[in-house]
A = this chain, B = another copy of it.
Amino acid sequence: MDVETLALVQQLYGAQSHYIDEGHAREWAATFTPDGEFHSPSYPAPVAGTEALTKFAADFARQDGVTRHVLTNVHVTPAAGGLTVRAYLQIVRTLPGGPPELLRQTTITDDLVRHAGTWRIRRRTVRRDDMKENR
């Protein structure tokens, strides 16, 4: 893995949570390819494509309180056609005047491909630590 690739991936993951947590829905959707897919057991169906991903992020920002996607343990490996990235993602919610609450501990596995001169997520799969079937 060359250092330029690692730096680009590091910046992608550095930026992504800020986008959705601050309500920048289009910027968050743009971290995926135009046909990008988001698969999570927290939601009834996969979210696919820029338009649906943008709506998903905009809906997320309308929740009560402040929610942060705390991302750690990023590991990048080569994969057929691109990269695989694994990381831990915590959902931390704070209601006004209240303490922060660690709502969910999840693991993400992302397929990354080159698109428009940078790395984007083609498919994200979320597993929740509280769901045995998703381990």
Contacts and interface: CB of A to CB of B under 8 A. Distances in A.
A11 to B, nearest CB: 7
Contacts of A66: 105, 129-130, 135
B71 A72 contact: yes
B14 A94 contact: no
The size bracket of the interface on A is: 35 or more
A75 B17 CA distance: 10
A6 interface: yes
26 contacts: A1-B7, A7-B7, A10-B10, A13-B73, A14-B74, A18-B75, A18-B86, A66-B105, A66-B129, A68-B88, A68-B107, A69-B73, A70-B90, A72-B72, A90-B92, A92-B102, A92-B105, A95-B130, A96-B131, A96-B132, A97-B130, A97-B131, A99-B102, A99-B104, A100-B102, A100-B105
5 nearest interchain CB pairs?
A14-B75, A94-B129, A100-B105, A66-B129, A3-B7
